[in-house]
């Protein structure tokens, strides 16, 4: 990726972090995650982890699309790796939602340290041919849900 693409990715990840901030402290035992979907340089959908922890940010962003075809080839910016195993109360794995929506690229701030995902979402995206990028604004994402990352041993 070029320096320009890195700057674009950071700007859109900041938007995803802003969306996640709206749910901070309202998601019970789940971290507040933000997801935005970008097509042709414009945000076409936004979602955050809902109060109580479900539905997840990716599911809310997909639901926010005016037309599911807008996701095709688009980039999803997510502040945490999409889940590979649904939480209780979640209908489906977020990684499958993104794959079925045919996004072309997923940019993640942090790999999920929880044993239920921990790299499996990343691998499933890559196996499905989705371009991935990890680590964009990682420190900011960790700071936003510090309690979650501390409880999973990612930080001390």
Catalytically annotated residues: 58
- Burial category of 140 from C-beta neighbours within 10 Å (exposed 0-12, middle 13-18, buried 19 and up): middle
Question: Both tokens of residue 5?
Answer: 């693409």
* CA pair distance 85, 153, nearest whole angstrom: 19
- Which is nearest to 113 in space by CA: 57, 78, 154? 154
Going 82 to 83 to 87 to 91, the CA torsion angle's sign is positive
- Which is nearest to 32 in space by CA: 40, 42, 22, 41? 22
């Amino acid at each position: 990726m070029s320096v320009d693409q890195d700057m674009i990715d950071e700007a859109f990840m900041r938007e995803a972090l802003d969306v996640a901030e709206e749910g901070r402290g309202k998601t019970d035992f789940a971290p507040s995650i933000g997801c935005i979907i970008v097509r042709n340089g414009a945000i076409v959908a936004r979602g955050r982890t809902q109060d109580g922890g479900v539905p997840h940010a990716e599911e809310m962003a997909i639901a926010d699309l005016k037309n599911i075809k807008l996701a095709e080839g688009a980039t999803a910016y997510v502040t945490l790796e999409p889940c590979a195993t649904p939480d209780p109360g979640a209908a489906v794995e977020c990684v499958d939602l993104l794959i079925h929506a045919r996004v072309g690229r997923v940019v993640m701030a942090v790999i999920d340290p929880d044993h239920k995902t921990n790299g499996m979402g990343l691998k499933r995206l890559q196996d499905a041919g989705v371009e991935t990028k990890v680590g964009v604004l990682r420190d900011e994402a960790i700071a936003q849900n510090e309690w979650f990352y501390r409880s999973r041993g990612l930080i001390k």
